[in-house]
Structure 1
Amino acid sequence: METEFNFYTNFKQETFDDDSCFLCGKECETKTAEHIFPKWLQHKYDLWNQKLTITNDTAIPYRNLTVPCCEKCNNEDLSRMEGKFQELLEKSFENLSIEDEQVIFQWTAKILYSTRYKELSLLIDRKKPELGKILNPYELERYSALHLFLQSIRFKTTFHSPKPWSLFVFKCTDEEFFYHNNIAGLCVSMKFGKVAITIVFEDNNIIEDFMDGFKKLKEYPINFPQYLEVNCNLFYSAVIKENVPKYITEYNDLTKEINVNTIGTLRSRKWDDQEYAFFFDYLLKSCGIDIGHSTLQTDGSITSFLVDENGEHLTKKLFEK
């Protein structure tokens, strides 16, 4: 077994420039541009001329969100993974196996990581270039484990239990596309019209277990404010993580396979309703939803959109044991 990461260029060796592949880290003999949000997705949901707001509040057209990628990673490894993800989307992510979940993990992790990678080349303020780039390689190192896990796109990989992600699938009532993430919490959500996925990375499946009631929401198609509220719960659960587990990765040079084991467990600080309400308020307003007051009410309760057709709180049904 090889414990040195000689199967890809790691963070200590990578140059993080336009001549290096964002995925394998090696200098590109033939460089291609990998669209962070793939072209098929942009065309399917009419995103080509729409814009995504990144961490410095700059809005960039989806079509311009690209990262450098070598020919093999782009045309072979990533292309194969994209095809598998498209098949899962066409089936509305029904009856997922652990192998299917791994594809979703790869696809969403690639978007989160490569969006951050793109920020290495973008100025904080184009009018003030002396302020430097949005992100530097030292800050990107926080994503070294996620980048290592992305090598599962290139090599057969076994993630031994517990899996390093929590995944939720929802049915929605409207047809709109929507994407958002939380950088601090290492989580991503994307709504493909009437089906949505939310995933939290590097939590060792703790949040999926803790928030297992939300897995039942597949029985209750939810509207957009309800979708945001569920994500607020999941994202806030990710934000209050105090640590992420450590991982031991082994690469077998003979079989070209990776094994990932975990040591340690996730710890989180105590849930704070006031902080959660502030988080919820911000999310609603950023999506153009103004309810006229804070979600934290004077009696200490929190406004909820998660009610059924009879006005009964869905959370009571969802989290009944």
Structure 2
Amino acid sequence: MSPSIYNPFTRLNFSNRTCFLTGQALTSEEEKVQVFPAWLMSRYHLEDKVIKLLDENYVGYKDLKVPCAASVNEQYLIPLENTVANAFDQGYEAVRELDETILFQWAGKLLYGIIFNEMQAGIRQQHAQGEGFNISQALIHKFSHLHLMLQSINLPLTFEDFKPFSLFLFKVNNPENEFAYRDEINTLTFSIRVQDFGLIICLQDNGANRRYHKELLEQVSGDTLHPIQFEEICARVFYSAYLFNRLPEYDVLPVGDEIYIESMPLRGMSSKPTFDDWMGKTYGQVLENFWKKWGLLLFEIIKNPDHPMSFLFTRDGQKISAASIDLPL
């Protein structure tokens, strides 16, 4: 008999009495795990820092939690965290050696934990106003599929000849102890820049964004980037994730004790390109947000809207070396 898949979005079940990953009933509302793991918060001194949620409220990193059965945490989540923490400790080379699916599971569990807290906040807010909870079907589609893929952590779930994500990993000359984290919930895109590396993952695109940026990846392959160069790549990927106009569909095939996930073709019945048109001015606005640390303003970035400022390439397409960039790390 095949193991059972849990879908909290069927009944919008985000109770603190139900394990976020398996759906099993909990004995106490205190049975929880941190969204940002304790090792990460300790290493980068996040315990007293705050993160901004979609409702514009700030919440402490340490206060973001999800309900989780103790047995699930001990058997699946703690080993996952230990594996990733050990690799992060060692840096880029160790992270590069990890199975990409492990990084996807780790990043996905973190981002889904934020989504879970956003859902709880939205439900509380609308109930307080006497309204039923409302969420777009497109978001339910994305979030439920992310949750399905996350169950590869605890179930014998196999991705059949595809990866549900695009993963980008770069060596970066980061300042010591810097912690740079971003996410975009609507596009399920995640980035983190720590140690001597930067990691970006589009969690629900079936590899489309990696294919989209194939030429860029080939050009910077093997390079150690200046942080502003990594943030420029982040801006490009976050923007292309916004332009990605498909909602991936999957077939779930239980076979004996295994569950196989097959991806449907992204093109589907549409003749429309997979990505909407790239707009230089809009991209420049995204880039300004990623370059805030260096104080670069939009009018400088898009002085020529057809050729926004770049620290990766010159106007004639030549690669810019990190060593030649005269900006603080």
- Shorter-chain TM-score bucket reads 0.7 to 0.9
Given candidates 14, 22, 25, the residue that maps to 2:23 is 25
Give unpaired runs (5+ residues) of structure 1: 316-321
CA distance in 2, matches of 1:152, 1:215: 30
Instruction: State the Cα deviation string for residues 186-240 of structure 1 (Å, max 9, x = none).
Output: 1100112321110012211121122133366453222232221110101111110
CA distance in 2, matches of 1:98, 1:244: 30
Given candidates 202, 207, 215, the residue that maps to 2:209 is 207
CA shift for structure 1 position 78: 0.8
**What secondary structure does 1:271 align onto?**
coil
CA distance in 1, matches of 2:230, 2:245: 26
Change (3 A) 1:61 1:137: farther
1:230 aligns with 2:233: yes
Amino acid at match of 1:68: P
Instruction: State the Cα deviation string for residues 77-111 of structure 1 (Å, max 9, x = none).
Output: 11121122223324435377897100000000111
1:57-96 matches, within 5 Å, as 57-94=56-93
CA distance in 1, matches of 2:90, 2:236: 26
Amino acid at match of 1:12: T
Indicate if the aligned counterparts of 1:34 and 1:67 stay in contact, CA closer than 8 A.
yes
CA shift for structure 1 position 250: 2.3
Change (3 A) 1:17 1:222: same
**What secondary structure does 2:145 align onto?**
helix
1:228-307 matches, within 5 Å, as 228-252=231-255, 254-255=256-257, 257-265=258-266, 267-285=274-292, 287=293, 289-291=295-297, 293-298=299-304, 300-306=306-312
Moved over 4 A (4+): 95-99, 123-126, 131-141
Amino acid at match of 2:302: L
**What secondary structure does 1:261 align onto?**
strand
CA distance in 2, matches of 1:133, 1:44: 41
Identical-residue share of aligned pairs (%): 25
CA shift for structure 1 position 134: 9.7
CA distance in 2, matches of 1:181, 1:80: 24
Aligned length: 307
Amino acid at match of 1:262: S
Change (3 A) 1:239 1:137: closer
CA shift for structure 1 position 118: 0.8
CA shift for structure 1 position 72: 1.6
1:137-176 matches, within 5 Å, as 140=140, 142-173=142-173, 174-175=175-176, 176=178
Change (3 A) 1:270 1:136: closer
2:325 corresponds to which residue? none
CA distance in 1, matches of 2:124, 2:72: 32
CA distance in 2, matches of 1:95, 1:161: 25
1:89-168 matches, within 5 Å, as 89-94=88-93, 100-122=99-121, 130=129, 140=140, 142-168=142-168
Indicate if the aligned counterparts of 2:171 and 2:223 stay in contact, CA closer than 8 A.
yes
Give the TM-score normalised by the residue count of structure 1. 0.83
Indicate if the aligned counterparts of 2:288 and 2:298 stay in contact, CA closer than 8 A.
no
**What secondary structure does 1:103 align onto?**
helix
CA distance in 1, matches of 2:117, 2:305: 45
Give unpaired runs (5+ residues) of structure 2: 268-273, 322-329
Give the TM-score normalised by the residue count of structure 2. 0.81
Give the stretch that moved more between structures: 145-154 or 187-196: 187-196
The root-mean-square deviation of aligned C-alpha atoms, in Å, is 3.2
CA distance in 1, matches of 2:242, 2:305: 25
**What secondary structure does 2:166 align onto?**
strand
**What secondary structure does 1:23 align onto?**
coil
Indicate if the aligned counterparts of 1:120 and 1:136 stay in contact, CA closer than 8 A.
no
Indicate if the aligned counterparts of 2:51 and 2:61 stay in contact, CA closer than 8 A.
yes
